[in-house]
Structure 1
Amino acid sequence: MQVMQTRHDSFSRVSESPKDSDASSDFTTPVHASLFPDSSPPPVLKRDMIIRKNFEKDDESMFSCEEYFSDIIKYMMHRQMKNRPSPNYQNQVTEEMRTILIDWFNEIVMEYSLKQETLHLACSLVDRVLSFLDVDKSQFQLVGTSCLMIAAKYEEVFAPETKEFSVITDKTYGVDEILRMEKFLLAQLNFDVSLPTAAWFAASFGKRMKFNEKMTKTMRYLVDLSLLDVHFLRYRPSDIAAAAACFANVQLGKEAWPKEMVEDTGIHTEHFIDVLKDLHHMYITAPTLDYKSIFNKYCKTDEMEVALLFAPTY
């Protein structure tokens, strides 16, 4: 069965339809609801590998060389414009379906202690795929699972094994199906996986401005929230990160966007004022969202409950 077609009507057979009728049903319920039915508890996610450690602090070491900071940022700002996804989504995959998938991604990232950048890269890959492929809604979760696996392989020191990605879909998709989809997607992406995300820019900006832990977590929370709304795709990742950094600065009574950052990045406040307004709205309305695993994560004490802090006014 043909499950995808490009915008130019060239068809590609990417996988066989799941034999189980439940697996090919419409994407009408939350991803995690279809994976873990109410009648049975979630499967135990077994790991037969070394327990993963948090390497995010080590990842930021590249920003410690101040003499190269401006050159790195300017290159990455140029790089971010390549293969940008489109916010105009096809009919079968709705905005809500995308939000459900990203909410599920976040649950997996927390369960496996994966990096924030893995989450953002996986979302970026999904958005890029949806920009040039017509994905049948019955295959959307398979596409998402494969994108998450690609992102984990790229970003993580100890990525989950393929069989674990089958387990987290409650074995709706087998290992062979996931691998076939991975191969197909990488070919469609020309194996161009590495693009800077808002999470990458946020880490670099926070390091440059010497953010404390609470400011860093607030900024991370905001860029994660931006993933849930497809309309943020119209903004550059660097502008989303700059707006999140500005929000964190104002929230704790610091200068909103220091002139040193303008000089180093070329980003002025007028470049991200609209993003800042949208992030402010997301921050205020996050407790009322239908899918709020990200909000719940940042309400926890180990995230310093930054989701519960007051929202600054501008």
Structure 2
Amino acid sequence: MRGILVDWLIEVHTRFRLLPETLFLAVNIVDRFLSAKIVELDKLQLVGVTAMFIAAKYEEVFSPGVQYFRSVADDGFTEEEILQAERYILTTLNYNLSYPNPMNFLRRISKADQYDYETRTVAKYLLEISLLDHRFMGYAPSHVSAAAMYLSRMMLERGPWDADLVHYSDYTEEEVLPVFRLMIDYLARPVKHEAFFKKYASKKFMKASIHARQWAKRNAGAHGVNIESATHDDSR
């Protein structure tokens, strides 16, 4: 259910053309809140839309008003319900919205390759996988960012993980590999999150989701990922 919610939040985020940082913060708010409170299933969407509302206020120069978030949820909640949920979530989190956003780490690592646009675009796609798949929650944002850049460079044949990349990422090639393999495992499986896939299948994002999945299916076995088990959709 968390994956379904985040996939929908990606759709909302794309519709409003919000900053990448806003999406990552919104999901972080959802996860932190759900770790502290039990939420009924029919209120899960309210938590998600309110988390995006809060994150947009925090990250955006011009944040969409509460009426836009009400409409994007198909008027399933009133504006007052969203505002009440905002107060409740912020109180639960002690108004602490500090978060080591992985986008900041990705930009830092990009210094090592002079901010190559194609590499960073594919890496953004790979980085957002960590929002949808709960298996990434055990890894630090900096670790996931390093793995996203590592895999992106491999897909685009940008050369080895050299000393500059180790310096700016703070992770060696050996340290990156466990997260790198998780990303390949996700990519080799059937498409599970439609909004996320369609977002990155567009020309704007270099059709990253299409090319990355094709690459993963061709190369998964060579990197220690069991293709047969990965191609069977499971409930994990």
Alignment TM-score > 0.5, same fold = yes
Greater Rg over alpha carbons, structure: 1
Is it true that 1:201 corresponds to 2:105 in the alignment?
yes
Is it true that 1:294 corresponds to 2:196 in the alignment?
yes
For residue 138 of structure 1, report the CA deviation from its aligned partner.
Answer: 1.9
RMSD: 1.6
* Structure 2 Cα separation of the partners of residues 208 and 125 of structure 1: 31
Per the alignment, do residues 256 and 294 of structure 1 end up closer, same or farther by CA in structure 2, a change over 3 Å counting?
farther
Partner of 1:109: 13
Q: Which amino acid aligns with 1:164?
A: Y
Select the structure that is richer in helix. Answer: 2
* Structure 2 Cα separation of the partners of residues 157 and 151 of structure 1: 11
Partner of 1:144: 48
For residue 264 of structure 1, report the CA deviation from its aligned partner.
Answer: 3.9
Deviations for 1:151-183, whole angstroms, at most 9, x for unmatched residues? 111111111101111111111111111111111
SS of 1:227 mapped into structure 2: helix
Partner of 2:61: 157
Unaligned ranges ≥5, structure 2 = 224-236
Whether contact under 8 Å (1:222, 1:283) holds in the other structure is: no
| Aligned residue among 135, 140, 150 for 1:246 | 150
Whether contact under 8 Å (2:148, 2:180) holds in the other structure is: yes
Partner of 1:257: 161
Deviations for 1:8-64, whole angstroms, at most 9, x for unmatched residues? xxxxxxxxxxxxxxxxxxxxxxxxxxxxxxxxxxxxxxxxxxxxxxxxxxxxxxxxx
Partner of 2:129: 225
% of aligned pairs identical? 32
Q: TM-score, normalised by structure 2?
A: 0.86
SS of 1:158 mapped into structure 2: coil
Deviations for 1:89-133, whole angstroms, at most 9, x for unmatched residues? xxxxxxxx1111111111111111111111111011101111121
SS of 2:132 mapped into structure 1: coil
Whether contact under 8 Å (1:124, 1:197) holds in the other structure is: no
Aligned length: 216
Partner of 1:125: 29
* Structure 2 Cα separation of the partners of residues 168 and 262 of structure 1: 42
* Structure 2 Cα separation of the partners of residues 196 and 209 of structure 1: 22
Unaligned ranges ≥5, structure 1 = 1-96
* Structure 2 Cα separation of the partners of residues 207 and 154 of structure 1: 26
| Aligned residue among 173, 181, 189 for 2:85 | 181
* Structure 1 Cα separation of the partners of residues 97 and 32 of structure 2: 10
* Structure 2 Cα separation of the partners of residues 159 and 201 of structure 1: 24
Q: TM-score, normalised by structure 1?
A: 0.65
For residue 297 of structure 1, report the CA deviation from its aligned partner.
Answer: 1.3
Whether contact under 8 Å (1:247, 1:256) holds in the other structure is: no
